[in-house]
Amino acid sequence: MPTDKRITDLLKLHNMREKAKLGGGEKRIKAQHAKGKYLARERIFMLLDPGTFEEYDAFVTHRTHDFGMEEQIFLGDGVITGSGRIDGRLVFVFSQDFTVFGGSLSGAHAEKICKVMDMAEKMGAPVIGLNDSGGARIQEGVVSLGGYADIFLRNVLMSGVIPQISAIMGPCAGGAVYSPAITDFIFMVKGKSHMFVTGPNVVKTVTHEEVTFEDLGGAKTHSTKSGVTHFACDDEMQCLQHIRKLVSYIPQNWREKTPKRVSVDDADRIEMELNHVIPEDNTRPYDMKKIINLVVDQEEKPKSEFDEEIDKNKKEKKTKSTKGLPELVKPGFVSSFFETQELFAPNIITGFARLDGISVGVIANQPSKMAGVLDIDASVKGARFVRFCDAFNIPLVVFEDVPGFMPGTFQEWRGIIKQGAKLLYAFAEATVPKLTVITRKAYGGAYDVMNSKHIRADYNIAWPGAEIAVMGSAGAAEIIFKKEIDAAKDPKKAFDEKVEEFKEKFANPYEAAKFGYIDDVVEPSETRIKLIKALRMLQTKVQSNPKKRHGNIPL
């Protein structure tokens, strides 16, 4: 039989745990729920597999005695930390509790986050931060600032070592924004999340601009204008579900191979619709996402206990992203393509998918947006994605239809030369398996940049109607045959003839294939089969870059 002391000790432990679960108390819990926001613990339980969360440092408290802080002690000090599982795979997580000092960061709060980050590095597992904080705790002064810097240092040192994911579930301002900015992916919730270095009041004081919280740093702003966030979610439930989905595509750490699932889609599937996607008029747009969705694996639509609530919150509304996509291969199946930064720089597409069950990173020009041209935003977006995939052994699959780089003073004065070079640098530096499909156009320097054979791409194929040249046929004919056209009795007829002559000689994939720059010219319907065979062949690829401290990417 337990002694009275042991019973007392167990009761104390039980009471302490219950007290820690209360965070800032019932009143503040109700206020959080009244805002339509979940509690820090609720978010963790929705994110992780049921019953897998193990909490650390639940009894940590701050050590401040100024400004009456010694009378305000809350167990956990405003952040919940621990480990758990997503689809059975280990992850580490911290979730800031807005009910405790507005989730503000103290020295103790920062130490808890640093501890769980250090554990994630040692175990080689992703770290996920659920941010909901008013920023540095003013009462602690430089100690709280030092705490942020301790976190920043770990973000940098762990970059490319383990995946780092940030979800902004509420405010995130001042120095607090730099930690998410360094991490690999950022999620925001529409109407609830805000990120900015300085808030609307400071902006008004300094620049005399009047701007709302939402316009300055809301999910819409950062998903369309700044490109800071990768996912703008309708609600917290969808945000946490999307994090789970993202984790399914990426390895635990830089040493692991890309994840592989048993595919229910036929590796030998021929997709005849691909033969009819490209318009006969090569100036007409089409949706590259249709090609991507037809090529990548189709998967059974996942079922979850949250599906009904997500559908209810969406109110069955159709989003722009679903328009123009192909019909599913069969009912109950969906494309494995999971797009990142969908609303930012839409002239380039980035995202994850599966081919034969293997996770791949997809980068594609989008002819339906600005003709798929590469501009500053598209170059930076693509480069960042390519470098993430290369850091974590995820093969790259490129769908190319690019007329070149965006001309004009706006682009030149803002550094399109340097910014475009980032995409070139990223592709050239990458040593993971790299595959390219040229669907229609590959003009000028953009042909080189978009994972060409010349920058160590492994497998390059083109569709029969592909045009690989310095520039379009009309522009080339104007330059090459200028004298003949000017001297002709009918300049327009002469011009048209010379355009056709140039097309016949250069605007086809066989000229590039002649030099080995294209490995094969394939029927569009066989694209999936060809890519899967190449991907299987490349599973044992070994390639490295020259030994050095690190490269100097043009920032």
Whether the CB-CB separation of 176 and 148 falls below 8 Å is answered with: yes
Residue 222 token pair = 């950062």
Residue 415 Ramachandran class (φ > 0 left, ψ -120 to 50 alpha, else beta): left
The closest alpha carbon to 278, from 471, 439, 462, belongs to 439
Can you tell me which residue has the tokens 């919940």?
A: 80
How buried is residue 367: exposed, middle or buried, by Cβ count under 10 Å (0-12/13-18/19+)?
buried
* 76 flagged as catalytic: no
Any residues with CB less than 8 A from the CB of 34 and at least 6 apart, and which? none
* 428 flagged as catalytic: no
Residue type for position 430: A
The catalytically annotated residue of 23, 24, 84, 174 is 174
Q: How many residues does the chain have?
A: 555
Q: How does DSSP classify residue 245?
A: H
Backbone φ, ψ for residue 83 (5° rounding): -130, 165
Bridge partner list, 349: 364
The catalytically annotated residue of 110, 232, 364, 446 is 446
How buried is residue 525: exposed, middle or buried, by Cβ count under 10 Å (0-12/13-18/19+)?
middle
Q: In 3-state terms, what secondary structure has residue 469?
A: strand
Calpha distance 270→265 (Å, rounded): 11
Whether the CB-CB separation of 124 and 89 falls below 8 Å is answered with: no
The catalytically annotated residue of 146, 175, 199, 475 is 175
* Dihedral sign (CA 83, 131, 251, 234): positive
* 227 flagged as catalytic: no
* Dihedral sign (CA 42, 43, 46, 51): negative
The catalytically annotated residue of 445, 465, 474, 488 is 445
Catalytically active residues, by annotation? 174-175, 445-446
